[in-house]
Structure 1
Amino acid sequence: MDKPPIHPYIPIMIGVITLAFSAIFVKLVSADSGVTAFYRMFFSVLIMAPAFLLKYRHEVKAISKKDWLFSAVAGVFLAFHFILWFESLNYTSVASSTVLVTLQPLFAFAGTYLFFKEKLTAKTIISGAIAIGGSVLISWGDFRLGGDAFFGDMLALIACGLITGYLLFGQDVRKRISLVTYTFIVYSVSTVAIFFYVLASGESFGPYPAADWFWFAMLAILPNLFGHTLFNWSLRYVSTNVISIAILFEPVGAAVLAYYIFQESLITTQVVGGLVVLAGITLFVVDGRKIRKLFIRKGA
């Protein structure tokens, strides 16, 4: 595997910051969850299409059946991750939904161990546990409320498992396929899957006010093309575990944005939980040389 041109942590953190806007944009849209997810992916594919068709379409012929299958599964997982997560925002707060959908280390640690035989250091487990503990604190108020909030929390938790599966499949396929080709295929599959979901659910593809179309485009540009695409790039060099722990910063940013934009109040447990999440992530990235040796794969 070739040496990364920049340290993978840099695009990962840029991706995490852009993802913090995702829940905010979804809350600003008046369309149903499935339609919002569809246009997010559809516009992403449209934006990527010129680059793929002009420079990368020849790579399609060299893709193996296994990589086609894994890419398709990743696309379906991504599709239903968005559908369930966007739907969860109709029942629970931005802070709680975003926290639960980012509890990926729980799934990533198990997945990388089972499928890639990656060993976990005590430091990685402890830092992940601290960050997860902070995430639970942030959503503690909604857990006690029950009812609609609890239902929304469960949708977000399922969406969390799906996004981890998407990253795990990508970790394998990205060893052999370029970023643009892999991302274009996955986003295209995801778009088609969501299209049929919208038809089956009876949601409307339009018309919508001009503001909705603007937020659809913003979802495609920031969280998708700057968020998930940067994660796909990083998967060539780092483990899914690294991205999963870094993403735990997303709910902190989303909660702060929701406070200023929607006046969603921040209770004491959410503030304390956010600080704990930051402490866990800080512990994880301390002594970056050892982390780099553990997670950045070398060799041809």
Structure 2
Amino acid sequence: MNKPPIHPYIPILIGVISISLSAILVKLATADAGVIAFYRMLFSVLIMSPIFFMKHTHEIKLITKRDWIFSTIAGVFLAFHFILWFESLNYTSVASSTVLVTLQPLFAFVGTYFFFKEPLTLKTVISGLIAILGSFLISWGDFQVSGTALYGDMLALIACALITGYLLFGQDVRKRISLITYTMVVYSISTICLFLYVIVKGESFGPYSSMDWLWFLLLAIIPNLFGHTLFNWALKWVSTNIISVAVLFEPIGAALLAYIVFSESLIPSQIIGGIVVIVGITLFVIDIKIIKKFFVKNA
């Protein structure tokens, strides 16, 4: 496998910062969840189209039947991930929804073990559990287990499982297909799926206010093109597990932005949880062998 032009952790970091804006932009929009998701994906496809049609159309014929099947499944999973997560934001807080939807290690660790035979090291399990504990602490104050909040929490949890499935199928395909081609195919399939969903649900494609159109466009540019697309790029060189743990940074950024934009207050448990998340992620990404060599050398 070719050496990446830059360290994969750099685009992963940019991607995490970008997706932290996603929940805020969704809550600012007034359209139904399916419509928001549809325009997010449609605008993403339209923005990417010039690059794809100028340089990458020849790659379509190189896609195998297996890759088409996996890409289709990934696209459908991505579509329903957005639908369920956006819908969850109508019932529970940004902090609770974002925390639950980013608990991907619970699913990714198991998925990569069974599908790709990636071993679960003790460091991976411990760091993942620490980060997951921190994620729960972030929203401990407003985490509810009854009524509409519970419904929103369940939607977010299912959305979490779907985005992990999307990454797992993408991890397999991305090792053989370029970033632009893979992303264009998956985003197009997701757009078609969302278009049919909106029609079946009887939701309206418009008209919407100019601000709504701005939120739709920003959702396509920031969380999608600078978020998920960078994750897809990184999948060629890193495991789904690494991205899933790094994404646990998202609740920290989302909670802070929700406080600024919607006055959703931060409480001590959320601040402590953010610190715990950072500790867990740091433990996951730092090479323990390098640390041991440093202390032995300086002993």
In the alignment, what sits opposite 1:279? 279
| Structure 1 letter corresponding to 2:280 | G
Evaluate the alpha carbon distance shift between residue 102 and residue 44 of structure 1 in structure 2; reply closer, same or farther with a 3 A threshold.
same
Distance across 2 between alignment mates of 1:235 and 1:193:
24
Larger mean CA deviation between 185-194 and 136-145 belongs to 136-145
In the alignment, what sits opposite 1:239? 239
Deviations 1:49-106 (A, max 9, x none): 1111111001001110000010010000000000000000000000110010000000
| Structure 2 letter corresponding to 1:100 | L
In the alignment, what sits opposite 1:13? 13
- 1:225 and 2:225 equivalent? yes
Evaluate the alpha carbon distance shift between residue 122 and residue 224 of structure 1 in structure 2; reply closer, same or farther with a 3 A threshold.
same
In the alignment, what sits opposite 2:167? 167
Distance across 1 between alignment mates of 2:198 and 2:138:
32
- By how many angstroms is 1:272 displaced? 1.5
Distance across 2 between alignment mates of 1:277 and 1:255:
13
Q: Residue 96 of structure 1 contacts residue 153 of structure 1 at CA under 8 Å; is this kept in 2?
A: yes
What secondary structure sits across from 2:264 in the alignment? coil
Deviations 1:18-64 (A, max 9, x none): 00000000011011100000000000000001111111001001110
In the alignment, what sits opposite 2:251? 251
Distance across 2 between alignment mates of 1:285 and 1:72:
31
Where structure 1 has 5 or more consecutive residues not aligned to the other structure, the ranges are 292-300
Distance across 2 between alignment mates of 1:76 and 1:204:
21
| Structure 2 letter corresponding to 1:131 | A
Q: How many residues align?
A: 291
| Structure 1 letter corresponding to 2:68 | W
What secondary structure sits across from 1:205 in the alignment? coil
- By how many angstroms is 1:7 displaced? 0.6
Larger mean CA deviation between 130-139 and 216-225 belongs to 130-139
- 1:212 and 2:224 equivalent? no
In the alignment, what sits opposite 1:126? 126
In the alignment, what sits opposite 1:193? 193
| Structure 2 letter corresponding to 1:253 | G
In the alignment, what sits opposite 1:294? none
- By how many angstroms is 1:142 displaced? 4.0
In the alignment, what sits opposite 1:38? 38
What secondary structure sits across from 1:86 in the alignment? helix
Q: Residue 142 of structure 1 contacts residue 149 of structure 1 at CA under 8 Å; is this kept in 2?
A: no
Deviations 1:113-158 (A, max 9, x none): 0000001221111111000001112233344452111110110000
Where structure 2 has 5 or more consecutive residues not aligned to the other structure, the ranges are 292-299
What secondary structure sits across from 1:169 in the alignment? helix
Task: Report the aligned-residue RMSD.
Answer: 1.3
- 1:82 and 2:82 equivalent? yes
- By how many angstroms is 1:166 displaced? 0.3
In the alignment, what sits opposite 2:294? none
Distance across 1 between alignment mates of 2:149 and 2:224:
26
TM-score normalised by the chain length of structure 2: 0.95
Give runs of ≥4 in structure 1 deviating > 4 Å: 288-291
In the alignment, what sits opposite 2:136? 136
- By how many angstroms is 1:290 displaced? 6.6
Q: Residue 102 of structure 1 contacts residue 250 of structure 1 at CA under 8 Å; is this kept in 2?
A: yes
In the alignment, what sits opposite 2:295? none
Deviations 1:140-185 (A, max 9, x none): 3344452111110110000000000000000000010000000000
Distance across 2 between alignment mates of 1:123 and 1:110:
15
Identity %: 73
Counterparts of residues 149-164 of structure 1 (less than 5 Å): 149-164=149-164
Q: Residue 131 of structure 1 contacts residue 276 of structure 1 at CA under 8 Å; is this kept in 2?
A: yes
